[in-house]
């Protein structure tokens, strides 16, 4: 089963980096809160066991008793919490929220979880940033999609046209160009 393999790999990583702050997030595609520890669903039990074994806590636990909803299906008339962040640094969580954006094209709402940890920060390109310097982060939920698509097309179309005309021996050069145009 794929879930077992993924959980085993993640468990190994949590053990390997047990001396580090661990934060795992994403669409778990199951409501772990409503189903809870007494769940009959094997998938939910596996995920909750992994969370417990790795000493992870949901950032939503910052507000016990509060109901969060990150998934809405108007056609089915359903809603639930499917998107989570789990961390080993629960005492460092300063904020958690499900964002209700005006321009959201998904049936999932973005989840915001902020934790504060000591040590140097790492910027977008991997360089270390001093803690007293504000790093500028790209906000996809605030992006101008027209500008993004236009810029992406402008940068990649010439490379794409050259790829259409080249043989396998010259493809490597173009792949390097694709990486470079992202900078």
How high is the pLDDT of residue 12? 93
Report the CATH fold assignment for 2-134.
Answer: Deoxyribonuclease I; Chain A (3.60.10)
Lowest mean pLDDT among 34-48, 93-107, 130-144: 130-144
| 3-state helix/strand/coil string of the chain | CHHHHHHHHHHHHHHHCCCCCCEEEEECCCCHHHHCCCCCCHHHHHHHHHHHHCCCEEHHHHCCCCCCCCEEECCCCEEECCEEEEECCHHHEEEEEECCCCCCCCCECCEEEEECCCCCEECCCCCEECCCCCCCCCCHHHCCHHHHHHHHHHHHHHHHHHHHHCCHHHHHHHHHHHHHHCC
For the chain, give the mean pLDDT. 78
- pLDDT surpasses 60 at 111: yes
pLDDT band per the 50, 70, 90 thresholds, residue 158: confident
Query: What ranges do the domains of the chain cover?
Result: 2-134, 145-181
């Amino acid at each position: 089963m794929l879930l077992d393999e993924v959980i085993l790999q993640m468990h190994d990583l949590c053990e390997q980096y047990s001396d580090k702050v661990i934060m795992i997030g994403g669409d778990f595609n199951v409501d772990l809160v409503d189903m809870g520890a007494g769940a009959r669903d094997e998938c939910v039990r596996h995920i909750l066991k992994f969370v417990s074994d790795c000493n992870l806590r949901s950032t939503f636990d910052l507000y016990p008793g509060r109901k969060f909803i990150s998934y809405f299906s108007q056609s089915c008339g359903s809603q639930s919490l499917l998107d989570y962040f789990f961390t080993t640094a629960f005492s460092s969580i300063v904020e958690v929220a499900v964002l209700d954006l005006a321009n959201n094209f998904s049936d999932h709402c973005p989840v915001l979880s902020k934790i504060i940890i000591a040590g140097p920060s790492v910027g977008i390109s991997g360089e270390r940033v001093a803690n007293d310097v504000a790093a500028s982060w790209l906000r996809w939920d605030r992006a101008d999609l027209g500008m993004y698509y236009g810029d992406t097309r402008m940068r990649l179309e010439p490379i794409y046209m050259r790829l259409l005309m080249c043989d396998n021996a010259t493809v490597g050069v173009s792949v390097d160009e694709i990486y470079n145009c992202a900078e």
